[in-house]
Chains A and B, each alone.
Chain A
Amino acid sequence: MSNPYASKAPEHFWKSAVGTHAAEDVSPIAARRFLLAPHDLIATAGSCFAQHVAKHLKAHGRVRFLETEDIGPNQPSFSALYGNIYTMRQLLQLVEEALGERHPADIAWRRPDGTYVDALRPAIFADGFPDAASLHEARRRHLAAVRAMLSGCTVFVFTLGLTEIWQSLRDGTVYPLAPGVAASPSNPEDFGFRNLRYEEVLGDLAQFAARLKAINPGARILLTVSPVPLTATYSEEHVLVATTHSKSILRAACSAMTEKFEHVYYFPSYEIITGNFSRGRYYDENLRTIAPEGVAHVMRVFDQTYGLTQPVADADAPPRTARPSRLFSDDDADVLCDEAEIVKTIGF
């Protein structure tokens, strides 16, 4: 019997794909991928690492980044003003709320200075709201923007951050920050900590994929896992162990999703940053946030994977490949046939 690995390509072997490469040349291009087109509208959401993706796409020029709300210079860079969304459950609840199916009971939290903060996006408005009514009005506008984002995007990029959540014990609403971190609810005893299990994470992802498909049948979902370790864990585990626990669940759930749903894809930003080939230099001094060099590597592979490596100037023009001659007119692609037999209209 011949060695079954003999038929595998170089990228399937550690030595030829990783071990003998300089760190910056390791390119784990996903086997399951699609090509981004100039007219794709890309929306992003997720944990803080997702902002790097958003900023890269905004500046790219080859693709269109979807923004359905005006994002200020000091506000998190996503497609709408939802701020960091660390878990799929939080995103799923946002979708339900945007569709009018969910009405979180307690989102107007009062700060010590007397202003109110939207507890579901506490870092968005630095000055807070003078009263609960203006907070709810801003949220109503935000939810309309979320609906527009969901229905308008052709690609939705979501970066999963962690599995630990703080939620309302009354209605299950998941909050991005623990009560007391950015503001305090009036009834802190109504909130509790949970660490989502693999089945719950996968279930939330599957629900979201199905919901988005119902809203926007043509949209693709691109999942990534944030390589940023947990700032802190509320579990009983060491934060390093808790980080591995969270990331492992998220990473495994992504693979399960790509196997289950054709319109769901995974991009390995997590592997690029955490892979040992970089010998840790893709992290900043604090060993937690990502260094620009690491972000650049992720985006370089992103561009290679999704066909964004052509020069910007060529983006809107059909590719002009070398031809043996100038036999043909460049206008051939624009010909509109006027043959008599062409059926001109259907349905009008």
Chain B
Amino acid sequence: MKALVVTNCATAAYTSGLRALFPDWEVKGAELNTARNWVGGEPNPSFIEFLASTDLVLTAMPDEPMFAGNAKLVVPAFHFRAYHPDSFHLSCGDVAIQSVLKSGNLHSRIAATAFLLGMSRNDAIAAFDAGTYERTGYFAVFEAEKTELLQRFALHGIDLAAAFDRWTQTGNFLYTYNHPKASIFSDVLLQALKARFIESRQMASARATLATVPDYLEPSIRWPVYPEIAALYRFDSEMVWRTGRDAGSVSMSLEDFVGRSFEVLQTLSDISADCIPGFAQCRDALQD
């Protein structure tokens, strides 16, 4: 059996997971943009040949034209924003604005809104408190986010309800809102495969097998769960951001993070409220 994984940053986890679970399968993986390039701008014959002959494509993007003729196992993209409600991917127009974390374009809504409102760095730093979080609505998103996550996967036959309850009992299970830890990808993969490729009685051993899969997102960036938010969900957290390994795994305090964010934002000529989802609520919270 041949299987091809083409999805987002979960590609490596799912590819390695399938390889571990089914040693007799031939499993390969390519992140979506790479795959698109390989069937378009820079054709990769090896990829194209494997795509044509694979028995199964695991993907979050089943409508991609390249998969038109393939049997698909749809595993939606993972994100859960209740622990990191302040972070968002900032783009102005079509341009992604690089994050102070040196990689990707993840930014703080509070910092960006404070900047647009003309607040000082110190006032912006001081705004990171429970009052601002409460008024912006950061404490009120958990249930809606949980429901949305479970529905998004259930729509593709993947029941994460029991797994989700386990995750929340272990504290923070995310590095960023869309970068879960390896064990989360394992649970998602197991549930996607359950009763189709794996039977219930095999789940425990399969979970143990997947424990050997590397945590591919661990070296990447970290966004803290703000301590007041973590306390609400009964775990501890520190206000520390971290760049990815390739940027030196540099840790940043709140003061450092906001200072660097302002430096980035000052370089933008066309940043506006439209670039910031939830700007109005955050503005009202900061001006209260």
Contacts and interface: CB of A to CB of B under 8 A. Distances in A.
Interface of A: 34-41, 151-152, 154, 217-220, 262-263, 307, 316, 318-329, 331-348
B74 A332 contact: no
A336 B154 CA distance: 22
B195 A263 contact: yes
Interface in B1-46: 1, 5, 8-9, 11-12, 15-16, 27-34, 38, 44, 46
Identify whether the interface residues of A are mostly helix, strand, loop, or mixed: loop
Given A335-B8, A345-B28, A348-B50, 14 more contacts: A218-B71, A262-B200, A325-B137, A327-B85, A327-B141, A328-B81, A338-B33, A340-B103, A340-B247, A341-B245, A342-B216, A344-B30, A345-B29, A348-B44
Interface in B263-288: 277-278, 281
Interface stretch (B124-132, B144-152, B166-174): B144-152
Interface string B152-171: 10111101000000000000
B178 A154 contact: no
Interface string B45-65: 011001000001000001100
Contact of A325 (B32, B56, B156, B278): B278
A339 B249 CA distance: 13
B184 interface: no
30 contacts: A35-B154, A35-B159, A37-B155, A38-B156, A39-B74, A39-B156, A40-B157, A151-B71, A218-B56, A220-B195, A316-B63, A321-B144, A321-B147, A325-B141, A326-B278, A327-B138, A327-B141, A327-B277, A327-B281, A335-B8, A335-B89, A336-B9, A336-B32, A338-B33, A339-B9, A342-B12, A342-B31, A342-B220, A345-B28, A346-B16
B116 interface: no
B282 to A, nearest CB: 8
B227 interface: no
A321 B33 CA distance: 29
B246 interface: yes
Q: Which has the most chain A C-beta neighbours within 10 Å: B104, B196, B219? A: B196
A342 B278 contact: no
Interface residues of B, number: 76
Contacts of A340: 103, 244, 246-247
Contact of B196 (A219, A307, A348): A219
Given A341-B244, A346-B28, A38 B11 contact: no
Contacts, number: 182
Contact of B155 (A151, A318, A335): A318
Contacts of A34: 157, 195
Nearest to A332: B79
B212 to A, nearest CB: 15
Contacts of B246: 340-341
Contacts of B233: none
Contact of A35 (B155, B247, B281): B155
Nearest to B22: A217
Given A324-B144, A327-B281, A333-B79, A339 B137 contact: no
A335 B178 contact: yes
Contact of B30 (A152, A329, A334, A345): A345
Contacts of A152: 71
B140 interface: yes
B147 A343 contact: no
Contacts of B1: 217
B66 to A, nearest CB: 14
A324 B140 contact: yes
B186 interface: no
A337 B219 CA distance: 14
Nearest to A330: B277
Contacts of B9: 336-337, 339, 342
Interface string B98-112: 000001100001000
A341 B30 contact: no
A39 B67 CA distance: 12
A35 B195 CA distance: 12
A348 B152 contact: no
Interface in B179-209: 179, 194-197, 199-201
The 3 A-B pairs with the shortest beta carbon distances in the complex, nearest first, are: A347-B28, A327-B278, A343-B12
Contacts of B194: 262
B160 to A, nearest CB: 12
Contact of B137 (A262, A327, A345): A327
B221 interface: yes
B34 A37 contact: no
B279 to A, nearest CB: 10
Contacts of B245: 341
B76 interface: yes
A345 B217 CA distance: 14
